[in-house]
Amino acid sequence: MGATGRIGRMLFRQWAAAPPAGVRLIAQSRREGPGLLAWDPLDPAIPVRADVIFGFAGVVPRDGVDAGLNVDLGVAAVRMAQAAGARRVILASSSAVYGPGASMDEDHPCRPVNAYGAAKLEMERTVVGADVEVCCLRIGNVAWADALLGRMVPGQRVTLDRFADGAGPVRSYIGPRTLAAVLETLAHAPAPLPPVLNLAAPGPVTMEALLRASGAEWGWQPAPGAAVQNVTLDCGRLAALHRFRADASAAGVLIAEGQGLKDPA
């Protein structure tokens, strides 16, 4: 679900290039298109049978959009799984449920600071405990679908916040190819997944390193008072399920993973 969103498009480009063995992938969109199942997730008439549902349909933070729709879409994914006979639903939540912090694990208190994070947290609380297995992925940043790399315009200078310690923002990231591999692992996991799971490559990355690796033209600006320096995740539970490459969180790898998968500039 959500195959035509920014993350969904990258995932299906990856799976088209390297199809998972023995799996039939069905890409859902509300709009018709080649290879797409055209279906509105809020429509109760479910048109398919499925084993695992990936729920990546959602709305992102921006003016004029009701973030509460993320709750409805999460519920729709669970309803679809029940009607389709699925054994597992893997839902895209967000690290925004936590608010600022460093090395936050799944037991860290959730104190979202915006409507998007609050809606994702409400979605988790609404769907967990359904009569189908649900795992909500608290995703950090997906390279090339994020607010930094995903919004870069060729030839346009990027400014990065510099904090009082002289450093810039630090975030948890994952590359789109690694994300696809993690989702395959979670889909095939024999044991039940935890109801919530942090999702990012094992180590945090500085946004400065990403910009240097991308070759973008950029510079510093003083961080405004409301700027957040650290939002990083402890992904130890995920690492126990999926074997990451040792360099999965390296800035150069994150940049390279978007080649051929990110939307054209």
Output the CA angle 245-150-106, nearest 5 degrees. Answer: 55
Residue 44: pLDDT over 90: no
Residue 134: pLDDT over 90: yes
Residue 46: pLDDT over 80: no
Residue 45: pLDDT over 80: no
How many Å apart are CA 32 and CA 35, to the nearest integer?
9
Mean of the pLDDT values across residues 40-69?
Answer: 82
Residues in CB range of 197: below 8 A, 6 or more apart: 106, 135, 136, 137, 138, 186, 237, 238
pLDDT score recorded for residue 195: 97
Q: What mean pLDDT, rounded, does the chain reach?
A: 92
Mean of the pLDDT values across residues 222-229?
Answer: 94
How many Å apart are CA 146 and CA 195, to the nearest integer?
24
Residue 14: pLDDT over 90: yes
Residue 62: pLDDT over 80: no
pLDDT > 70: percent of the chain: 98
Residue 43: pLDDT over 80: no
Closest CA to 133 of 221, 178, 193, 77: 193
- Beta bridge partners of residue 137, listed in sequence order: 92, 197
**167 or 263, greater pLDDT:** 167
Is residue 14 within 8 A of residue 144, CB to CB? The reply is: no
Chain segment 71-129, per-residue pLDDT in tens: 999 999 999 898 889 999 999 999 999 999 999 999 999 999 999 999 999 999 999 88
